[in-house]
Amino acid sequence: MHASSDISLLSLLVNASVPVQLVMLILLGVSVLSWTYIFSKRAALKRANEQTRRFEDDFWAGGDLSVLQQSVATRRDEHGALARIFDSGMTEFIKARRSNGTSDALLDGPRRAMRATYQREMDGLESHLNFLASAGSVSPYIGLLGTVWGIMHAFLGLSTMQQATLSAVAPGIAEALIATAIGLFAAIPAVIAYNRYTNEIDRLSIRFDSFIDEFLNILQRQVR
pTM of the model as a whole: 0.81
Question: H or E stretch including 147?
Answer: helix 129-158
4: confidence class by pLDDT, cuts 50, 70, 90: very low
Q: Check residue 3 and give its pLDDT.
A: 43
The yes-or-no verdict on residue 154 having pLDDT over 50 is: yes
**Tens-place pLDDT, residues 24-75:** 889 999 999 999 999 999 999 999 999 999 999 999 987 888 888 888 888 7
Q: Check residue 98 and give its pLDDT.
A: 82
Count Cα neighbours of 50 within 13 Å in the Cβ-side half-sphere.
8
Residue (of 132, 55, 128) closest to 86 by Cα position: 55
- If DSSP codes are grouped into helix, strand and coil, which group holds residue 24? helix
Residue (of 114, 109, 86, 85) closest to 97 by Cα position: 109
What's the CA gap between 85 and 221, in Å, rounded? Answer: 19
Residue (of 56, 54, 61) closest to 208 by Cα position: 56
- If DSSP codes are grouped into helix, strand and coil, which group holds residue 7? coil
Question: H or E stretch including 122?
Answer: helix 103-125
Beta strand segments in the chain, E: none
DSSP annotation string for 155-184: HHHHTT-SS--HHHHHHHHHHHHHHHHHHH
Q: Check residue 9 and give its pLDDT.
A: 58
| 67/77: higher pLDDT | 67
Is residue 176 packed enough to be buried (19+ CB in 10 Å), middle (13-18) or exposed (0-12)?
Answer: buried
Q: Check residue 2 and give its pLDDT.
A: 42
Packing angle of the helix pair 103-125, 166-223 (nearest 10 deg): 160
